[in-house]
Amino acid sequence: MIRSPLTRKTPMARSRETRTIGLGHAVSLALGRVRKHVPKESALFRSLAHRKNVATLPCMATLPCMACGRSGCQAAHANYGKGGALKVCDSLTFPLCPECHREHDQGGIPKDVRRRREVAYVYRTRAELISRSLWTPVIEQAYRRAYEPMKRVAEAL
């Protein structure tokens, strides 16, 4: 093993007493105010109860080979306007059984077809939850904010 002259055999011995404050803390003290770290709340609607309500609906998948309709669903998020490991607003969820969910997300469905299906699934889910009185004004507000841009993108494809 080649040892760099910068590596040490033992970790640096530094006690808590000899540590100085960090630059950010020093600046805030100099300005006369102390900043507390407050995690920023998500701008997206998140609700476990809503996702559970969506999961109680039958599967909405209308794949060319089948019209599923199975129970035991998952709340699937639309794959619009998100990055890796990020989910869209919970108001844009729809019920899919595990097999259809996997097919929808990883099955090689063309992007334009998948986008159009997501718009239809979200719209049908909303109608079904409204008919069951499970769609609250808070969900409606988040839905209106998130649905229109998704709908425009799907129509443009």
Structural tokens at position 26? 């020093």
Q: What are phi and psi of 117, to 5 degrees?
A: -65, -45
The phi, psi pair for 149, rounded to 5°, reads -60, -35
| Amino acid present at 98 | P
Query: pTM, whole model, 2 decimals?
Result: 0.68
Q: What type of residue sits at position 59?
A: C
Neighbours of 118 (CB within 10 A): 23
- Report the first-to-last Cα separation within the chain, whole angstroms: 56
- Write phi, then psi, for 77 (nearest 5 degrees): -90, 145
Show pLDDT as tens, one digit a residue, over the chain (157 residues).
565 666 666 666 666 666 677 787 788 778 877 666 666 677 788 999 999 999 999 988 765 444 577 778 899 998 887 766 678 889 999 999 888 888 888 877 888 888 888 888 999 999 999 999 999 999 999 999 888 888 787 777 7
Q: Are 97 and 61 in contact (CB under 8 A)?
A: yes
